[in-house]
Amino acid sequence: MKALLIAFLLTCAYPAAARDSFAAPSPADLRPDRVRSDLQPPTNPEHRFIYESLRRRGVLERLSRFLSPFRLPREVTMRVGDCNGEVNAYYEDGEIFVCYEYLDFIVRNAPEGWSDDGIARRDAVTGPTVDVFLHEMGHAVFDLLRIPVLGREEDAADLFSAYIQLQASPEEARSLITGVAFLGRHEMRAAMKTELQLKHFADEHGFAGQRYFNVLCIAYGFDRVLFADAVTVWGLPPERAEACSAEYAQLDRAFRALIMPYIDRDLLAQVRAKKWLMFGPGDGHSPGASVGPPPHHRGNPAEASRALGKRPEQDR
pLDDT at 100: 97
Residue 8 pLDDT: 52
- Widest Cα–Cα separation across the chain: 69
State the pLDDT at residue 189: 78
pLDDT at 127 (0 to 100): 96
Identify the pLDDT of residue 168.
Answer: 92
pLDDT < 70: residue spans in the chain: 1-22, 200-204, 206-207, 280-316
Specify the pLDDT at position 278: 82
Confidence at residue 309, expressed as pLDDT on a 0 to 100 scale: 32
pTM for this predicted structure: 0.82
Q: Which pLDDT score, from 0 to 100, does residue 136 have?
A: 98
Sequence-separated contacts (24+) of 237-245 with Cβ below 8 Å: 237/213, 240/213, 241/217, 243/217, 244/217, 244/218, 244/220, 245/221
Please tell me the predicted confidence (pLDDT) of residue 6.
Answer: 53
Give the Cα-Cα-Cα angle 24, 222, 181 (nearest 5 degrees): 95
- pLDDT tens digit string along 18-27? 445 568 888 8
DSSP letters spanning 185-199: HHHHHHHHTS---HH
Strand stretches in 82-230, DSSP E: 89-92, 95-99
Question: Which pLDDT value is given to residue 237?
Answer: 96
What is the model's pLDDT at position 283?
38
